[in-house]
Amino acid sequence: MTTYKAVNLPANDLAYTNKVFVSPSEYQRLLAQSRREPVYVEISGFVLTVQPHPKLTEGIAMSKFIREMGRISLVDNLTLKIFQSPADFYLGFANIDVELIGRKKGGSAVEIPEEVLESKFRECMNDMVLNHNQTLLFDYQGMPLQMTIKRLTSMDLINPTPQEESTPCQRGILHPQTSLQFESISPVNLEIISQKIRTINIFDSKRFNFEELGIGGLDKEFQYIVRRAFASRLLPPQIIQRLGLKYVKGMLLYGPPGTGKTLIARQIAKCLKAREPKIISGPEIFNKYVGQSEENIRDLFKEAEQEQAAKGDKSQLHIIIFDEIDAICRPRGTISGSTGVHDTVVNQLLSKIDGINSLNNILIIGMTNRKDMIDEAVLRPGRLEIHVEVGLPDEEGRQQILRIHTKKIQEYGALAEDVDLLEIAKITKNYSGAEIEGLVKNAASFAFGREIDLEDLGKEINVDNIKIRMADFIKGVEEYKPQFGIDEADLNRYIRGGIINYGETCEKLVETCKTLIEQVKTSPRTPLMSILLEGPPGTGKTALAAMLALHSGFPYVKLVSPENYVGFTESGKVTAIAKVFEDAYRSPLSLVVLDNIERLIEYVTIGPRFSNPILQAILVLTKKVPPHPDRRIMIIGTTSNATFLEDLDLVKSFNVVLEVKKLASRAEVAAVLRKYPVSEEELADILTDMTAISIKQLMLALEMSLQGEETLTKERFLSCLNSILL
């Protein structure tokens, strides 16, 4: 091969041809090797077009731009390699950065129609090879333009349609149907005016595999976010301006703890072609120095402001994620005794998101468990306008989450064959994503425990023997209770002795309640059902309510009892009761037991006196329909003073009022007595002297009379009963 010395161009205007030149005689020698025109040579990894020039006698002449591109100096000796272009060497798409050089700062931007630029580019680059990262020089009305080839894709000649997402390539030749996209590096100096409607690809991949992203049970929420927040960003800015629309700048993810709000925010950022997201916890904004908290807010937006000033609409998307945003966006004027820094931080954030000099290249994602504690101005359109509730996963979502958290266990071979993830998903109702992850860890701990020798903790563990079985998950479910689950411990306290069916009255009462519960479970037209069990003290109202709640099959069951709120202030009790109902609205099916309502409202007969704020809260909550259309709630209340509640209009708040009576007939008393060791003769004698009695008093007398005795006798029973009734 012949070596050539790099020399300067014989004329400066030849730099705009973007070719290299040799002497006429040397050109003929290269043409003989190439056997066709134009002649292409490969220099420093770039394929360039060679032409003869009469003023050259030796060497190869090239512009400063080509030398800088190939890192070539004027003292270098170059070896040329003839490049033969293959038949399918056409480009499908070319992305080109354009920069105006040699222009002083200041003044208005130079506007160039993209159609004119494309026409000139095709004319000048006809039959020339375009290389990835190649630098080109063009003259536009006396102004030098520097172009850099940033991205190339190949064209399928069988179906020659321009496709930006086809196979990337390193070089190729323009085809009449090659799609060209010109982008200005600095829109402040040079603005390319385009009439084309070209979709902007802001995502890193064409399709999302949610399980690969680690997102389980949030498919609907993710799709809703993509439609609302990013659909408009797929269109060019000029189209959005023509339509008089604005980009979505913020969204709020809210819901119970552990449901995946932070996870979905992080994965959104990963899926976008955007800057590395800034993730900050709300309390981190505040600083002890005056004005520093507001400065921290401004610093979050500084990079976005600088890039928009330099690149305009070509700026990348800047994502700012606020975790626990309620810490910095409390309603203004509600925090007393402070310096007002909370209010000024809210004002600063509002002005940055949608102020006078608002930015188009930002996306704010806020996350909170308490949407009600955020200033309304933050949530209005133009700011955090998209509100997405990230709720508890359904059965399919729980199965997805289980697959995600057991994937590596399965790949390692530590998941037993008897593990049925679908069955686990069915029995983990109202488990959040974080709680399911905790369940998997808990199940794994049982498997680890089988391999640990407690008598010799230093004994080596054979990791190949570790297998997580279905039984481990079952034990994990029994041990690991969800936050939005069933208050089994509280409810079981009221039915330790079981439920005694004392006759037709009891059966009818239980059957009516079960029918109403089934109605709530199956009928979409019954979003709210409330039952009030009223009757004298000791008739088993609380025990009946607890039994119905435990056997209802509802995933969320909570007991609101006066004994749980001893020591609470009036406002604290209202807040606690309201929270139980707010949590209930997050579950598809929920049941709340309001036990001993007169004690809840702090009723005393002297006066009479009661707590009006608690009364008003219960009046509102017993009538409130769940805000979500797919959620239903059942309320069971108990009271021993229905007459007083009628005066307060509280009885009218319940859909159904059922009376739980004392044991009035001999048959009902006999049904209870037969649960204890008693002869038929003694039973008949006892019944002759019995009057109406509550089941609680009857059972207490029975238990007293059996202390130290094997069987029940009339004399001892009546003696104990009389001592109780005194």
Beta strands in 174-296 (DSSP E): 179-184, 190-193, 250-254, 278-281
Band (pLDDT 50/70/90 cuts) for residue 157 is low
Residue 558 above 90 pLDDT?
yes
The predicted pLDDT at position 575 comes to 93
Band (pLDDT 50/70/90 cuts) for residue 240 is confident
- Which segment of 96-105, 362-371, 616-625 scores lowest on mean pLDDT? 96-105
Task: Please state the rounded mean pLDDT for residues 92-101.
Answer: 89
Task: Please state the rounded mean pLDDT for residues 667-695.
Answer: 85
- Which segment of 357-366, 519-528, 623-632 scores lowest on mean pLDDT? 357-366
Residues 246, 205: contact at Cβ < 8 Å? Answer: no
Residue 40 above 70 pLDDT?
yes
Task: List, for residues 631-655, the tens digit of each pLDDT value.
Answer: 999 999 999 999 999 999 999 999 9
Residue 269 above 80 pLDDT?
no
Q: How many CA atoms lie within 13 A of 673 on its CB side?
A: 26
Classify burial at 302, counting beta carbons within 10 Å of its beta carbon; exposed 0-12, middle 13-18, buried 19 or more.
exposed
The predicted pLDDT at position 203 comes to 61
Percent of the chain residues topping a pLDDT of 90: 32
Average pLDDT over the chain, rounded to an integer: 86
Cα dihedral 276, 281, 286, 288 sign: negative
The predicted pLDDT at position 423 comes to 93
Task: List, for residues 329-357, the tens digit of each pLDDT value.
Answer: 888 877 765 567 878 888 888 888 887 77
Query: In this structure, how many other beta carbons lie within 10 angstroms of the beta carbon of residue 307?
Result: 18
The predicted pLDDT at position 201 comes to 59
The predicted pLDDT at position 610 comes to 92
Task: List, for residues 488-500, the tens digit of each pLDDT value.
Answer: 888 988 888 788 8
Q: Which of 90-94, 203-207, 264-268 shows the highest mean pLDDT?
A: 90-94
The predicted pLDDT at position 359 comes to 84
Q: What residues have CB less than 8 Å from 38, skipping those under 6 apart?
A: 49, 50, 51, 127, 128
Task: Please state the rounded mean pLDDT for residues 484-510.
Answer: 88
Q: Which of 192-206, 289-303, 340-354, 525-539 shows the highest mean pLDDT?
A: 525-539
pTM greater than the 0.75 cutoff = no
Residue 243 above 90 pLDDT?
no
Q: How far apart are CA 545 and CA 491, in angstroms?
A: 9
Percent of the chain residues topping a pLDDT of 70: 93
The predicted pLDDT at position 517 comes to 95
Residue 162 above 50 pLDDT?
no
Q: Which of 315-329, 358-372, 615-629 shows the highest mean pLDDT?
A: 615-629
The predicted pLDDT at position 110 comes to 84
Q: How far apart are CA 169 and CA 165, in angstroms?
A: 11
Task: List, for residues 376-410, the tens digit of each pLDDT value.
Answer: 989 988 889 999 888 888 888 899 899 999 988 88
The predicted pLDDT at position 248 comes to 87
Task: Please state the rounded mean pLDDT for residues 232-237.
Answer: 74
Q: How far apart are CA 287 and CA 13, in angstroms?
A: 60
Residue type, 548: L
Task: Please state the rounded mean pLDDT for residues 416-438.
Answer: 91
CA distances from 423 to 398, 408, 420, 430 (A): 10, 20, 5, 14
